[in-house]
Amino acid sequence: MKILVTVKRVPDPDQKIKLTADGRQLDLSGLPCVVNPFDAIAVEEALRIRERSSEAGEIVVLSIGAAECEEQLRTALAMGADRGIRVDTPAAADPWNVAAIVQAVVAREQPGLVLMGKQAVDDDSNQVGQFLAARLNWPQATFASKIEFVDGHAEVNRETDSGIERVRIALPAVITTDLRLNEPRYVSLPGIVRARKKPLEVLSLEALGVALQPRVKLLGVTIPTSSRAGTRLRDVDDLVQRLKELKVI
Amino acid sequence: MDFIRETLGNTKLTRETFGNIPKPSQVLFYALAVLACSILAYGLFCRARLWWLGQPGWRWRSLGRAATGFFREVLGQRRVVRRLFAGWSHFFLFWGFAILFIGTLLLMADHWPAEIWPAWHFQYGLYYAVYKMTLDTAGIALIAGCLLLAYRRWTRPSSLGHNWRDWAILAALGTMGLSGYVVEALRLLWSRPLLPGVSYVGYALAQLIGHGHSDAALRTAHLCVWWGHALLGLTIVAVFPYARLFHAIAGMLNITGEPAQLGAMRPVSLEEVEQTGKVGVGNISDFTRGALLQLDGCMECGRCQEACPAYASGKPLTPRGVVQDVKRLLGTIGPALARQPRSADGAAAAEPSPAGPQLHEDTVTAETLWACTTCSACVEVCPVRIDPAGMIIDMRRYLVAEGQLSGPPATSLRRMENSNNPWGLPSEQRMEWADGLDVPTVKQRPDFEILYWVGCAAAYDRRVRRVARAFVRLMQAAGVRFAVLGTEERCTGDSARRMGEEFIFQSLATANVETLNRYKVRKIVTHCPHCFNALTKDFPQFGGHYEVVHHSQLLAELLRQGRLPLDGDGASRPGQPRAKRITLHDPCYLARVNEITAPPREVLSQAVSDGATLVEMARRGRTTFCCGAGGGRMWFEEAPSQRIGNLRAQEALATGADTVAVACPFCMVMMTDSVAQANSEARVLDIAELLAERLPDSPAEKQNPQT
C-alpha cells in the first residue's frame, strides 16, 4: 500500500518565540526548525506499517512551502521514506487551501492511505486532515493512538476527551496521528547523508492546477503573559487556608 | 662460598642433553616438534587473519609505554593479582610456566649450536646449579598454580566461564610439571651426576624411588616417561592457539599494543561519513583490528561482569557476554569472510552475507547496548585490558546512525542540537542559577584567572543550581578571580558522544572550543566530572587544550593554602541537620576514569565538623560503583525499582551515613532519587555544599528563594 505522509516545517517547540518588530508576526529568523512532532509520528507510523506488512509499499512525504522545507523532507527521507514532494508556495496557506493542495497531490499519487499529524504545533489549527477527508470524500479517523489493518479496513483507536474510541474505516482513508501512537526514530547525520540520494520533486501550484483562495487573514499575534509566580506555603493548613481565600474550596 | 668455589666453571657439573635418548627417538622428537610448531603457527595465522578482517589503524604505543605495560601487567601480573586467590594462583602458574618454557629454550640454545661447535656449551658449573634450582622451583609453582586453580574450578564462583577443556588444560600443565620431576629423578638415578641436590625436587623424588633398581630398568623407565613428557609438551604447544591458553598471546599483545585509555574515544571523521554514509560498527569487520585481537584475550574470568552496574541491576548487559558473543560470531562467520577477496587497503571488502548471523540483534541486542553507563568498571578491572565499553559505544554509533533510537534519549539529542543543552531550555536562562550572586562573565571580567565551567545541570536543574551557588560562594570567600561564559556556554556533548551521536557532539565541541579560545581561556574549573572528562579528553581532539581541574581539586588547593575562612563548626544553620556520619560516593568519571580520588576526601575532612566521621563504602575510589547516569543513561526512562542508583544508595545507607556526599551533578540526581526511593532521611549533598555550610555567612544562603 502506498502511503502519503504530510510533513510540516515548524519552529522547534523548545525554542522561545519572539515577535517581529511590528509585533504582527512571529520572528522565525535564526530559530531552529523541526518536523512537526505529530507529523514525525505519522512518518514513523507509515514506516512501521510497512515493516509489519508483507507487501512492499512506497512511502511518499509531502511538504508545502518554500525551499527550506526540504530540510524537513530530508529528515523524513532519512527516517526511511522513499520519495519527497515539495509544493512550492511563497507564503503559508490557511488550512482549507493546504487541504486543497494535498488533495491535488493525492489525485496525482493515488495513495491507499494519507497519514498526517493531527495538528501542527505552530498554529494548532487541527483542520487539514478533516478538510482533506471532506474534499476527497474519504473516511477519516483523527487522533489515532493505534492503527491496525483488518480485512482491507483500518481499525483505529481514537484518543477522545472521554476515552478511547475504536473505529473501523474503509480504505483509502485519511488518518491523523496523536501523541501516543509511537515514538519517532532518531535521525542522525549518516541517515541524512544517505537520504540525499533519494528523489525529491518540487511542484508548483500551477503544475498541480491549484489556485489558492485564502479564507483566513492573520490579524496579529501576542505572546502569552508569563504564568504567575508560585508561592511556598508552610504546611497543609496554610494551603487549605489559601485555597479558601481564593474560593477554590 | 664453598658452593660457589666448588661449582664455578666446573665442567663436570652438567648433564648430557638427550642423555639416554637414542638417536632415532631424537629425530622423531624433532620431527614431531616441527609438526607441533607448524600447528601452532597455523593456528596463529588463522587467528591473525580473523583480526585482519577489522579496520586498519591499530597503532603500537611508544616503546617505553609498551615496555612498562609488559613489565607491570604481563610479567608483574599487576591487574591479575587484584583478585587475591585466583590472582596469585595465576601468578604462580604463569611464572612456573614461563620459567620452565624459557628453561627449555635455554636448553635448546645450548644444544643446537654445540652440534656444530662443541665448545659452545654453557650448561655447566655454577650456571647449571642455579638453572636447576630455579627450574625445580618453577615446577613447584606450576604444579601449585594448577592445583589451586583446579580447586577454584571445583568450587567455582558462578562468574567463571567453564568447559571441559579447562580441566584438560589444567591437567596437562600439572602433569607436565610432575612428569618433568619423574624424568629428572630417573635420570639422577641412572646417571649419578655430581651434586644431584641442585635438582632438589627430582633428588627427593629419586630418594623415594630408591636405588634398588637396575640401571637398565631405570633407563627404560626414563625413556618411557621422557616420551610421555615430550609428547604432552608438544601437544600443549600445538593446541595453544585453539584453547583458552591463547589469551596469553592475545592478552600480551593487547597490553603492550594499544589498550584503551579510559574516557577517551576515537573521533569519527565527518568527511568519511559524507562519503560513505556509514558510521560505527554495524558488522564484525567494522571493528578495529585491535578490538578483534582483544576478543581473543578474553579468558571469561568474569571480573567485568561482577563490576558491571547494568548487570547488577538486572539489565541484559554483561560485558563478558558481549565480548564472548562477538568472539563466537567472529569464529562462526570470520573464516568465510577471511577467504573473500580484499580491497586495496587490506580491509575486508565484502560485508557479511545477509543470510548468516548478524552482529546486531542476532549477536548483541540494542537493549544490551543501551544498558551501558560507560562507567568503565569493566575496562578498569580487566586483567588484559579489554575495552567492552569502547566496543559498545562503537556499536551504539551504528544504532544511532540507523535510526534505532527513539523516545526520551532521542529527544535529549534533538535538544542538544537545537537548544545546546539536553533540557531543551533557552540559552538566555543559563545564568538564572546565579540570581542574587555576583558571578561575572568573561566579558565583564576579562582578566579572570580561572574559568568556571558551570555545565547544563547547574544552569537548568533546580537542585544542582544550589551546588553551583555553594561553589561560587566558596570561590568568592577565597578571593578566586573567576568568570563564567554565561549564555555563551553550551553542553559539552559528553552524553551525546557516549550515546553514539558523534555529530551533535562534534558541533557542540567545536562551538565550545571556538568560544573558549576566543576568550583566551587557559585554566578551567568545573564541578561536573562529565564536563571535566569532555574538556580534558574530548576537546583536545578539536583544538581545545586547557588546564582543567575539578572543583574538588580547586577546593582542596584553597584549603591547603588556608584561603577559606571556615568557622568553628557547621552547626550554625538553623533547621538544617548537621552531618554526623558522611560517606562519599565517588563519581565514575572522576575517580575511575580520571583517577581523582584524594581531593574530594580532603575537602570532606575539612567540611565535617567536630564529632562527625567519614565512613567509606567497600567500593570506592577507582573501584567505585556507578550511579546509573553515565553514557547518556541520564536521559533514558527507567522504572524506579530498576535503577542502578538504588543499589548504590543501599550501599551508601548501609554505612549508617546520614549524609551521602557526591561530586557530580548526575550522581546528585540519581542518588537523591534512590535515597528517597529507599525511604531514607539521609541528605545527598555535593562536597561544595558541605564545605559551604561552614562558611560564616551560611544562613544567608538559606533564605535565598532558589533553595
User: For the residues of B170-193, what is the DSSP string, one character each?
Assistant: HHHHHHHHHHHHHHHHHHHHHH--
Query: Least CA distance to A232: which residue of chain B?
Result: B705
CB contact under 8 A, A15 and B418: yes
- Tell whether A211 is within 8 A of chain B (Cβ): no
pLDDT for the residue B703: 43
DSSP state of B194: S
Residues of chain B with pLDDT under 50: 346, 348-349, 572, 699-700, 702-707
- B414 CB neighbours in chain A (<8 A) are 12, 34, 186
CATH class of B270-339+355-401: mainly alpha
Cell numbers 557526591: residue: B662
- Tell whether B501 is within 8 A of chain A (Cβ): yes
pLDDT for the residue B271: 87
Give residues with Cβ within 8 angstroms of B118, minimum separation 6: none
Q: Domain segments of chain B: what residues?
A: 33-48+64-256, 270-339+355-401, 409-702
pLDDT for the residue B410: 95
Domain B33-48+64-256 has CATH 1.20.950.20: yes
| Alpha carbon of A187: minimum distance to chain B alpha carbons (Å) | 5
DSSP state of B624: -
**Residue environment code for B403-415, b if the CB has 16+ CB neighbours within 10 A, otherwise e:** bbbeeebbbbbbb
CB contact under 8 A, A34 and B418: yes
Cell numbers 565541541: residue: B509
Strands (E), A31-82: 33-35, 59-65
B671, B627 in Cβ contact below 8 A? yes
CB contact under 8 A, A189 and B270: yes
CATH class of A3-222: alpha beta
- Cell numbers linked to B56: 586498519
Percent of the residues in chain A that have a pLDDT greater than 90, as a whole number: 71
DSSP codes joined into one string, A2-17: -EEEE--EEE-TTSPP
pLDDT, tens digit only, all 249 positions of chain A: 999 999 999 999 888 888 888 878 888 888 899 999 999 999 999 999 999 988 889 999 999 999 999 999 999 999 999 999 999 998 788 999 999 999 999 999 999 999 999 999 998 999 999 999 999 999 999 999 999 999 999 999 999 999 999 999 999 999 999 999 999 999 998 888 889 999 999 999 999 999 999 999 888 888 877 767 777 888 899 899 888 888 887
Q: Calculate Rg over the CA atoms of chain B.
A: 31
DSSP codes joined into one string, B104-173: HHHHHHHHHHHHH-GGG---BHHHHHHHHHHHHHHHHHHHHHHHHHHHHHHT--TTS---HHHHHHHHHH
Give the integer Cα–Cα distance in Å for B135 and B554: 54
Tell me the three state secondary structure of residue B93. Answer: helix
* A14, A183, A188 ranked by CB distance to B406: nearest: A183
pLDDT for the residue A63: 97
Q: Domain segments of chain A: what residues?
A: 3-222
pLDDT for the residue A208: 95
| Sign of the CA dihedral running B430, B433, B434, B439 | negative
Tell me the three state secondary structure of residue B568. Answer: coil
A185, B410 in Cβ contact below 8 A? yes
Rounded to 5°, the CA angle B387-B539-B514 comes to 160
pLDDT for the residue B453: 98
DSSP codes joined into one string, A61-108: EEEEESGGGHHHHHHHHHHT-SEEEEEE-SSPPPHHHHHHHHHHHHHH
pLDDT for the residue B702: 47
pLDDT for the residue B269: 87
Beta-carbon-side half-sphere exposure of residue A219 (alpha carbons within 13 Å): 0
- Tell whether B402 is within 8 A of chain A (Cβ): yes
Give the integer Cα–Cα distance in Å for B593 and B534: 11
Query: Least CA distance to B506: which residue of chain A?
Result: A189
Tell me the three state secondary structure of residue A204. Answer: strand
Q: What is the pLDDT of residues A185-202, one digit of tens each?
A: 999 988 888 899 999 999
* A183, A184, A188 ranked by CB distance to B401: nearest: A188
Tell me the three state secondary structure of residue B60. Answer: coil
CB contact under 8 A, B418 and A186: no
Beta-carbon-side half-sphere exposure of residue B48 (alpha carbons within 13 Å): 8
- Cell numbers linked to B601: 576526601
Q: What is the pLDDT of residues A200-248, one digit of tens each?
A: 999 999 999 999 999 998 888 888 777 677 778 888 998 998 888 888 8
CB contact under 8 A, A188 and B503: yes
pLDDT for the residue B8: 81
- A184 CB neighbours in chain B (<8 A) are 406, 410
Residue A18: name the closest of A227, A222, A226, A220 by CA: A222
- Cell numbers linked to B315: 539489565
Torsion of CA B501, B503, B504, B506, to 10 degrees: 120
- B401 CB neighbours in chain A (<8 A) are 188-191
